Chains A and B, each alone.
Chain A
Amino acid sequence: NAGVTQTPKFQVLKTGQSMTLQCAQDMNHNSMYWYRQDPGMGLRLIYYSASEGTTDKGEVPNGYNVSRLNKREFSLRLESAAPSQTSVYFCASIWTGDEAFFGQGTRLTVV
């Protein structure tokens, strides 16, 4: 039982490049989330998906897009990376109203 799996674990991008962060969960959870964590800070919600087929903006959605491909997978796309998007990105899944299970994070550096 893997829980929440994120790929890649590390990535370096040049300004203007694009990339997709992948997240998959095997717990049959309805809700999935993408957060970013800047050094010494808490987590800020980028986008979330309450159920398959729906996505909604969180606190800091600008510069990102998401796709809820199916119940298991929720991807985050940076179309044109900027240095301000350097951060650690965490995916989480939740059984409605319950605790969140987190992936191990993707460390992204934009140079």
Chain B
Amino acid sequence: SQQGEEDPQALSIQEGENATMNCSYKTSINNLQWYRQNSGRGLVHLILIRSNEREKHSGRLRVTLDTSKKSSSLLITASRAADTASYFCATLNTGGFKTIFGAGTRLFVKA
């Protein structure tokens, strides 16, 4: 089974609202990353958080990591219609080279 599992599977919000997506994983990790994928396109890296970090910000993005619970959350503040996309978490296992992706959260931001 996949290392990362996101929830919810789909999320629909109004423009201006905040969107929160969660990711759980199973084994110890070196880092956790979040990616965005627009329909039919390749994935674009958003943010990386290392296992010794608890919170990280990048523009309207805020990521938290709780290694004791093996979980992470991605918060997008003041969402825009252009944020409509699928969001995936990915984990790099400790001491390894495997980067494994979850099934993703599909975010719909209504204008």
Residues of A whose CB lies within 8 Å of any CB of B are 31, 33, 35, 41-45, 48, 50, 56, 58-59, 90, 92, 94, 96-105
Q: A97-B92, A99-B45, A105-B42 are in contact. Are A41 and B103 (CB under 8 A)?
A: yes
CB distance from B78 to the nearest CB of A (A): 24
Rounded to whole angstroms, the CA-CA distance of A43 and B48 in the bound complex is 18
Whether A104 contacts B42 by the Cβ 8 Å rule is yes
Whether A94 contacts B99 by the Cβ 8 Å rule is yes
- Nearest-CB residue, chain B, relative to A97: B30
Closest 8 CB pairs between A and B?
A42-B103, A50-B97, A99-B45, A102-B42, A43-B101, A42-B101, A102-B43, A104-B42
Q: Which of A31, A43, A97, A101 contacts B45 (CB 8 A)?
A: A101
What is the predominant secondary structure among interface residues of chain B facing chain A? strand
Residues of B whose CB lies within 8 Å of any CB of A are 2, 4, 30-31, 33, 35, 41-45, 48, 88, 90, 92, 97-104
Whether A96 contacts B97 by the Cβ 8 Å rule is yes
Whether A35 contacts B98 by the Cβ 8 Å rule is no
Whether B2 contacts A33 by the Cβ 8 Å rule is no
- Nearest-CB residue, chain B, relative to A57: B98
CB distance from A64 to the nearest CB of B (A): 16
Residue from B30, B41, B48, B92 having most chain A Cβ neighbours under 10 A: B92
CB distance from B93 to the nearest CB of A (A): 11
Whether A99 contacts B33 by the Cβ 8 Å rule is yes
- Nearest-CB residue, chain A, relative to B42: A102
